[in-house]
Amino acid sequence: MTFVVQQTLLFAIPLMIVALAGVFAERSGIINLALEGIMIMGAFVGVYFVRLMQDFDVFLDAARMGNYWTLQGLELLAMLVAAVFGALFSLLLSFAAVNLKADQTIGGTALNLMAPALVLFLVRILANQNTLQMTQGDAASWFMIKKSTFGVDKNVQWGFLGETFLNKVYLATYICILVFVVLSVILYFTKFGLRLRACGENPQAADSLGINVYRMRYAGTTISGALAGMGGFVYALTATNCTANGDVAGFGFLALAVMIFGNWKPLNIALGALLFGLFKCIAAGYGSIDINGDGVFMLAEIGISSHLYRMLPYLITLIVLSFTSKKSRAPKAEGIPYDKGSR
Amino acid sequence: MNKGKTLLNSDSSRKVFASLLSIVIGLAVGALVAAIVGLSKDNIGGKGIWDGVRLIFLGLLSTGREAGQLTWGFNPSSWGNMLFRATPLIMTGLSVAVAFKTGLFNIGAPGQYLMGTLATLFIALEIPSEAVPPAIIWLLAFLGGMLAGALWGAIPGLLKAFLNINEVLACIMTNWIAANVVTWLFDISNLKNVAEGTKTGYIYKTTFNNVATSKMGLDKLFPESQVNGGILIAILIAIVVYIIMNKTTLGYQLKACGANRHAARYAGIPDKRNIILSMAMAGALAAGGASLYWLSGNTEFYWITYQALPAAGFNGIPVALLALNHPIAVVFSGIFMAMLNIVGQQLTTLTAYNEYITDVVIAVIVYLSAFSLVIQMWLGKRKAKKGGKTV
Amino acid sequence: MQSEYIIEMLNIRKEFPGIVANDDITLQLKSGEIHALLGENGAGKSTLMSVLFGLYQPEQGVIKKNGEVVTINNPNDATALNIGMVHQHFKLIDVFTVLDNIILGAEDTRMGFLQKQEARKKVEELSRRYGLKVDLNAKVEDITVGMQQRVEILKMLYRDNEILIFDEPTAVLTPQEIDELMATMKGFAAEGKSILFITHKLNEIMAVADRCTVLRKGKYIGTVNIADTTKQELSNMMVGRPVQLQVEKKDANPGDTVLEVKGLTVPSKIHKNDAVKNVSFQVRSGEIVCIAGIDGNGQTELIHGLTGLEKTSGGTITLCGKDISRGSIRYRSETGMSHIPEDRHKHGLVLDFTLEQNMVLQSFQSSRFQKLGFIKNDAVRAYADTLIEQYDVRSGQGPVTIARSMSGGNQQKAIIAREMDRNKPLVVAVQPTRGLDVGAIEHIHKELVAQRDAGKAVLLVSLELDEVMNLSDRILVMYEGEIVGELDPKTTTVQELGLYMAGAKKAEGGK
């Protein structure tokens, strides 16, 4: 059970935070199809930043001496850097969509093409291979919070809650949950949130009330870029052991599906992300899931092909969308360039 | 000067010019990235940068390296391979373009391409060539591939028409489902190449069953290359698509649905049927690209593909965008994209750079095409239409 | 020194690519007056108000408040000068509550968080004081158009605006609601607020305005005192030539029944109730039957159900003796229906197609324009040329003009040309004159009467009371999805019609 919860969270957290990234862009009126590309960018920048920092003695010593809190600091710093670069990268989309009134779908596609191309190009040149890794150690040895982090012997049992939520977890997971809650509150209970949502529904109305639609849309997309960049690094850190190879396995697109499934509302999105995380977890680890703890790996033993499990998340997404799409309600003005001068 | 002005005033020449400008900017950005990276890396140096930049622009004309210097000239193998690789790109480009004309963004070409691969290879390898003439098998494999793609493409069409699911999302999901289905079916098939033990994970080439596209004499023009008649078939199909889209009532209906679905409905044009039809056509075209590629007989398919989607599918998007969705222009932009592919190959073999720089170029071109209209307007500096307000 | 005028707009010029929307226009608003701004569609009224409201910057001219020059770069500046506006198309966020809509842009916050208690109290107080009843917690999409307008008015009052602009406020209201609005406006003026009232309806100007400024084709025509003028004089100023306020037509001479609708029911897309409930009527050849009603009472759905654009859930439709209730859109129109749609941009035209492509939108599959699936380009061109000539459709490049680049009036003419030339026994025309200027309106009215006289059955849907009264031979009034009365325009009055439209009166058992 601990395994299922941890694995589910592993997939659900990046999905959730990136789906929220989608919400901020779309609620301001910009379709951010580039989530995937921005994640790829964020993953690369974060991992590269970690690599660069590994040259500094302060972190090397910390890893050697078991000074975990310094390393947690490095993890947070890397998240921040990934967020900043994600935001910068998303400016390409905002500029095209807001200033040039470009087709947002195509603009997003361009970013999705750009990110893996640039990342692979650079990774190949920097690392002489197709995957960028940490120069020494890995995510588990440097960043994972374990019993030894607290100075506890690993044979000590912590009970279900402790084993699940304190042992073998990443701080990034909890930071993401915190950020998710804070931003959701901002979206609904602040002046900024109210105005942002107004721009995605009826920019003409917002403009007539003195709200700068262009600025709000830049703000929405930039927050979106920062979240997606951070989510990309969190995915790389927790799901692929702090490596970057110009690919996040379609998570950006899955996040879009989660966003639509969640009807552009944070609470529903959190639930949707958990659901999809669960299916991803089943797809990735169906062979080692022991549902009721009796030592029988039921999913593996029913004899269903591993191929089916692997396509399950995508199949479920489609099926769920089929049921929810009729009721779903996108922000009314999303995807439509706002032209102040249009009459 | 005057001549230039009239040239720019024509709508279609302005479009061509906008596309050319996108290409130049894309290549320049590629060169710039190469230069910046080169300057920051000690092992590349000034000469390395200069070589890289020249290859980005002129890689097609490279014949290799002699005594440390790049050599230039007609490289028949490059040209032939370019045409060979252009074949699937033209087809996926047509696929994306047809869907675009109907107002749909077919990002599902990779999945359709995979389904075409699946059907084509099964038909081409499973029908015994001792019993059936290879030419018939070829035709069946080609048509079967297109049919499979049409059916697969129709799925997002159906979801869009009847359940109003965003076709972009549906296409992305069906892509990944296709990748898994294809891996699955090949996994349980007997088509895995065990005869040539050198590599694992590959399917037999169609030549194992004596099925291959005719060279149509192109191998004489471009010796030592993979070129075959597929490129001519692709061009023929582009012409057929052009005629369908511009000269027939079917094309008129598809375009009407794309430009204004409500007005099409108002005029009694069955919009749902047209959306499904358009996606099916798009699927057939993308899958046809796969058929032509694998039926060449000289390439083998890596079947463990569930983690990766074929680039030929995605690259249909830049091909179509660069061609502004014009079927004949797709032929040229497809060949251009294939040329970039050759360029990438030359960069990898001849310099410290790698082929991904050309993907950066493609991404820049797509980015520019997102506001192609702005560029066109800027080029024309056109005056606003006058006399619009009189009744 | 206190100026006589609270707001002055002097010599304003505003250009858009290709046209001069405002050419040297002067408007002076006295404190405490109701000042009407009169002009046709496209005369430049909305542009001028957008300049005053800071949405556009003029190329020339100055704006003064209380005699001092002010610059208004955005709506915030306008609000700071206590200028507020009720836009013609309401600027409301559908999914927000009424209260959120009112405070949007002028929010109270504490540390960034919204504080709504004070605002709620203030709005409730204003609502009570001026009798503007609204439900603060309801979402805008769930409330009536009349209440939406009250929300817009409250938005201005909440911002303590002293100068209130009303842009075509009566278009969406019943005659009774119009009376209420007029009373409210007079109340504001009596309190010292100054009101700019934009309209093209002469009756309303005569009823409430103190003075009136007239614009025509972007130019300033003059300012008159209402007490010293007449409707006819205002009308002449607005149009530039004497206008027939009355449509000339002979008595109707109805023949056989062309369209028979029985018990038609159409479900709503927005709410659970039916948008059209059990509606029955018939239209005979040689008569114009007009469906009157306030916007949103099921007229759109009725026509969509009739033409096949939306699925019906009950009832039968018989056209020329054939049951078309289950027929496709194509089948219905081929059986005998021309349709001038409500929204010419959404349904009537493919804006990115050329004019000639649009001309054959309904008929491209006939053997006249295609052979074996190939379009006969020459035949299409020749046909388009004929229609352009016959219906005087003006455009930049003739048949190859992109429809988007044409003026609204010519777009509508193109649709009418296409639909009339199909020569079907039933003509369905939905708000055929919406957004057009007087010249184009006259033209379209004449065409509809001509169709009637040629023996066609004409089903007209209109929101304009004048059009209803002048054009129709019979009036069917729709209210909340039902036909609540059938009236004869010769014997009824606008007031009576209004009572039916507002649902205050209902004929028993229909006809």
Q: A318 and B159: CB-CB below 8 Å?
A: yes
* Partner B, chain A 122-141, Cβ-Cβ below 8 Å: 122, 124-125
Query: What's the CA dihedral at A313, A315, A318, A323 to 10 degrees?
Result: -100
What residue spans define the domains of chain A?
13-248
**CA–CA dist C174, C503 (Å, integer):** 10
Q: CB–CB of C153/C195 below 8 Å? A: no
Q: What is the pLDDT of residue B369?
A: 86
Q: A210 and C76: CB-CB below 8 Å?
A: yes
* Cα-based distances in Å from A86 to A35, A337, B11, C416, C467: 9, 22, 38, 53, 58
**Which residues of B are less than 8 Å from C439 in CB distance?**
391
Residue C507 inside a domain? The answer is no
**Together in a domain, C310 and C215:** no
Facing residue for C74 by CB, picked from A186, A202, A210: A210
Q: What is the pLDDT of residue C511?
A: 39
Residue B308 inside a domain? The answer is yes
Facing residue for A124 by CB, picked from B354, B363, B374: B354
Boundary-marking domain end, from C239, C266, C298: C239
**Together in a domain, C89 and C177:** yes
Q: Is the pLDDT of residue B386 over 70?
A: no
Report residue C273 as tokens.
């109730």
Residue C112 inside a domain? The answer is yes
Whether residue A194 lies within 8 A of chain B, CB to CB, comes out as: no
Instruction: List the chains bordering chain B where 3 or more Cβ pairs fall under 8 Å.
Output: A, C
Give the pLDDT band of residue B2 (cuts 50, 70, 90). very low
Report residue C145 as tokens.
């158009």
**Which residues of C are less than 8 Å from A340 in CB distance?**
55
Instruction: List the chains bordering chain A where 3 or more Cβ pairs fall under 8 Å.
Output: B, C
Q: Which of B58-62, B65-69, C165-169, C209-213 has the lowest mean pLDDT?
A: B65-69
Q: B390 and C394: CB-CB below 8 Å?
A: yes
CA of A145, closest CA in chain C: separation in Å? 35
Report residue C327 as tokens.
């027929």
Q: What is the pLDDT of residue A343?
A: 37
Report residue C81 as tokens.
């000068």
Q: CB–CB of B38/B44 below 8 Å? A: yes
Facing residue for C410 by CB, picked from B249, B269, B391: B391
Q: How does pLDDT run across A136-149, given as a tens digit for each residue?
A: 888 888 888 888 77
Q: What is the pLDDT of residue B382?
A: 46
Q: How does pLDDT run across B196-206, given as a tens digit for each residue?
A: 766 778 888 88
Domain span including residue C306: 257-501
Residue C437 inside a domain? The answer is yes
CA of C424, closest CA in chain B: separation in Å? 14
> Mean pLDDT, to the nearest integer, of B147-158?
97
Facing residue for A106 by CB, picked from B187, B354, B366: B366
Domain span including residue B140: 77-338
CA of B329, closest CA in chain C: separation in Å? 20
Q: C109 and A190: CB-CB below 8 Å?
A: yes
Counted across chains A and C, CB pairs separated by less than 8 A come out at 71
**Which residues of C are less than 8 Å from A202 in CB distance?**
91-94
Whether residue B259 lies within 8 A of chain C, CB to CB, comes out as: yes
Q: B356 and A111: CB-CB below 8 Å?
A: no
> Mean pLDDT, to the nearest integer, of C369-381?
92
Chain B residue at shortest CA distance from C350: B260
- Secondary-structure breakdown of chain B: helix, strand, coil percentages, each rounded to the nearest 5: 70, 5, 25
**Together in a domain, C234 and C265:** no
Chain A residue at shortest CA distance from B186: A307
Facing residue for B249 by CB, picked from C329, C349, C364: C364
Report residue B195 as tokens.
């005869």
Q: Whole-angstrom distance between the N-terminal and C-terminal Cα of chain B?
A: 37
Report residue B292 as tokens.
């032509």
DSSP state of A144: -
Residue B192 inside a domain? The answer is yes
Query: Where residue C337 sits, what CATH number does that domain have?
Result: 3.40.50.300
Facing residue for B164 by CB, picked from A113, A308, A326: A326
Give the pLDDT band of residue C193 (cuts 50, 70, 90). very high
Q: How does pLDDT run across B261-274, given as a tens digit for each residue?
A: 999 999 999 999 99
Q: What is the pLDDT of residue C180?
A: 86
Q: How does pLDDT run across C28-84, given as a tens digit for each residue?
A: 999 999 999 998 777 888 889 889 988 888 999 999 999 899 999 888 888 889 999
> Apex CA B104: angle with CA B101 and CA B110, to 5°?
110
Q: What is the pLDDT of residue C509?
A: 46
**CA–CA dist C460, C467 (Å, integer):** 10
ipTM: 0.85
CA of A43, closest CA in chain B: separation in Å? 18
Facing residue for B248 by CB, picked from C339, C357, C373: C373
**Together in a domain, C194 and C275:** no
Boundary-marking domain end, from C239, C265, C286: C239
CA of C142, closest CA in chain A: separation in Å? 15
Q: What is the pLDDT of residue C42?
A: 73
CA of C40, closest CA in chain A: separation in Å? 16
Q: Is the pLDDT of residue A303 over 50?
A: yes
Whether residue A257 lies within 8 A of chain B, CB to CB, comes out as: yes
Q: How does pLDDT run across A237-260, given as a tens digit for each residue?
A: 998 889 998 888 888 988 998 998
DSSP state of A242: S
Q: Mutating which of A314, A319, A322, A334 best tests the B interface, going by the most B Cβ atoms within 10 A?
A: A314
CA of A303, closest CA in chain C: separation in Å? 46
Chain C residues within 8 angstroms (CB to CB) of chain A: 16, 46-47, 53, 55-56, 74-76, 79, 85, 87, 89-96, 100, 104-107, 109, 112-114
**Which residues of C are less than 8 Å from A207 in CB distance?**
55, 75
Q: B248 and C329: CB-CB below 8 Å?
A: no
Contacts of C24 (CB under 8 A, 6+ apart): C11, C12, C13, C60, C61, C219, C220
**Together in a domain, C199 and C334:** no
Q: What is the pLDDT of residue B383?
A: 39
Q: Mutating which of A190, A208, A264, A265 best tests the C interface, going by the most C Cβ atoms within 10 A?
A: A208
H-run or E-run covering A142: helix A139-142
CA of A178, closest CA in chain C: separation in Å? 18
**Together in a domain, C386 and C492:** yes
Q: Is the Cα torsion angle C309, C314, C318, C323 positive or negative in sign?
A: positive
**Buried/exposed C189-200: b ≥16 CB within 10 Å, e otherwise:** beeebbbbbbbb
**Together in a domain, C383 and C289:** yes
Q: A109 and B366: CB-CB below 8 Å?
A: yes
Counted across chains B and C, CB pairs separated by less than 8 A come out at 91
What's the number of domains chain C is made of?
2
Residue C247 inside a domain? The answer is no
**Together in a domain, C230 and C319:** no
Q: CB–CB of B110/B266 below 8 Å? A: no
**CA–CA dist C256, B391 (Å, integer):** 36
**Together in a domain, C264 and C157:** no
Q: B359 and A120: CB-CB below 8 Å?
A: yes
Q: C328 and B268: CB-CB below 8 Å?
A: yes
SS3 A220: helix
Q: How does pLDDT run across C107-129, given as a tens digit for each residue?
A: 888 888 999 999 999 999 999 98
Facing residue for A311 by CB, picked from B166, B176, B352: B176
Boundary-marking domain end, from C205, C239, C273: C239
Residue B72 inside a domain? The answer is no
Q: C42 and B389: CB-CB below 8 Å?
A: yes
**CA–CA dist C150, C158 (Å, integer):** 12
Whether residue B164 lies within 8 A of chain A, CB to CB, comes out as: yes
**Together in a domain, C437 and C479:** yes
Q: Is the pLDDT of residue C286 over 50?
A: yes
Chain B residue at shortest CA distance from C327: B268
Residue C252 inside a domain? The answer is no
Q: How does pLDDT run across B160-186, given as a tens digit for each residue?
A: 999 988 888 899 899 999 999 999 999
Give the pLDDT band of residue A219 (cuts 50, 70, 90). very high
**Together in a domain, C114 and C12:** yes
What's the number of domains chain B is made of?
1
Q: State the pTM of this model.
A: 0.86
**Together in a domain, C435 and C289:** yes
